[in-house]
Amino acid sequence: MTTQKNGVFVRRPLIAGNWKMNIDHMEAIALVQKLAWTLNDAGHDYDRVQVSVFPPFTDLRGVQTLVTGDKLSIDYGAQDLSDQDSGAYTGDISGAFLKKLGCTQVLIGHSERREVHGETDELLNAKLVAALRHGLTPVLCVGEGLDVREAGNHVAHTLAQLEGALAGRSAEELTELVVAYEPVWAIGTGKVAGPEDAQEMSAAIRAKLAELYSQEFADTVRVLYGGSVKSKNVASILAGADVDGALVGGASLDTDEFSKIISFEKHTDTGVQG
Ligand SMILES: O=C(CO)COP(=O)(O)O
């Protein structure tokens, strides 16, 4: 969601938890319930900071039941979707099914999908189209590996991923687009990109969106940072003018830590390293 204040775009920060292949469907209910209570006790204002979780597919029905039953303000989505809607695609999950489960968002192109499952920009483009077809907000993940960073090609590499996944799509179709910059070398390693690195790439992503579409469009797109985000480093990362939130892996499995990350406005960093 983006609003305008005195002619300036205000992008609502999004703190999202990617559970990856962790937490079964019973644990999922307990985790989301505890998260909601903790945020409630902390007086969390969801209009100021949006909160999403990305559980495994098998957890989604339970999360839906809890969120709708208890009227929780936590959003949820899937970690992947098929580029197809139905048919002989064993093991794949359609965006139509996700929509029916109340998902509002879907991760596309997480580096672990790119690396472990060999997902290409072409396939991710088709998945993005599928997400849009079913009214799901695509959270498009991009980012470079260590070799690319060390060679100094991280910006060109990341922007090429962005361009590849968005190919052929119009600004009108992408009004809800969220981009997550996740340098692969910072994922699950405890190494975190410095606040300057996160800001540099977020600004470059926004400039690319302005070039592909318009500045006005680019100003509305939220760009998240992901990679070893913790409560002790989140405030400085999100201080970057173009960094609009965080995609959190490991730390999102710990409710107390994740709620501290969500309350990033209330505390300052105790250290940059994860
Ligand atoms: O991959 C990530 C989120 O999608 C980041 O994971 P970590 O926060 O565990 O480094």
CA 205 to CA 196: how far, in whole Å? 14
Tokens found for residue 141: 């993940």
Q: Give residue 9's Cα distance to chain centre.
A: 20
CATH architecture for the domain at 11-22+60-266: Alpha-Beta Barrel (3.20)
Is the minimum distance from the CB of 108 to ligand 1 under 6 angstroms? no
Q: What is the largest CA-CA distance in the chain?
A: 52
Residue 211 pLDDT class (50, 70, 90 cuts): very high
In angstroms, rounded to a whole number, what is the distance separating the alpha carbons of residues 194 and 191? 9
Tell me phi and psi for residue 158, to 5 degrees: -70, -40
Task: Provide the 3-class DSSP secondary structure of residue 104.
Answer: coil
Mean pLDDT of all residues in 173-195: 91
For residue 99, report the distance from its CA to the centre of ligand 1, in Å: 24
Segments making up each domain of the chain, as ranges: 11-22+60-266
- 185 labelled ligand-binding: no
Q: How far is it, in rounded angstroms, from Cα 175 to Cα 2?
A: 10
Residues 6+ apart with CB under 8 A from 95: 81, 82, 85, 106, 130, 131, 133, 134, 136
**Rounded CA gap, 116 and 89, in Å?**
18
Torsion of Cα atoms, 254 then 234 then 208 then 113, to 10°: -20
Kindly state the DSSP code that residue 191 receives in the 8-state scheme: -
Whether residue 20 is annotated as binding a ligand: the answer is yes
* pLDDT for residue 272: 47
By most ligand atoms within 8 Å of CB, the mutation choice from 228, 232, 237 for ligand 1 is 228
How many other CB atoms sit within 10 Å of the CB of residue 8? 8
- Kindly give the distance from the C-alpha atom of residue 246 to the centroid of ligand 1, in angstroms, as a whole number: 9
Cα separation, 245 vs 267, whole angstroms: 15
d(CA 54, CA 9): 27
Mean pLDDT of the chain: 94
Tokens linked to 263: 């309350």
pLDDT at residue 273, rounded to an integer: 44
Cα separation, 220 vs 266, in Å, equals: 24
| 233 in contact with ligand 1, CB cutoff 6 A | no
- With vertex at residue 46, the alpha carbon angle to CA 43 and CA 50, rounded to the nearest 5 degrees, is 135
Cβ–ligand 1 distance for 250 under 6 Å, the answer: yes
**58: pLDDT strictly greater than 70:** yes
**138 CA distance to ligand 1 middle (Å):** 17
pLDDT of residue 270: 61
ipTM of the complex: 0.99
- What percent of the chain stands above pLDDT 70? 94
Q: What pLDDT shows up at residue 4?
A: 57
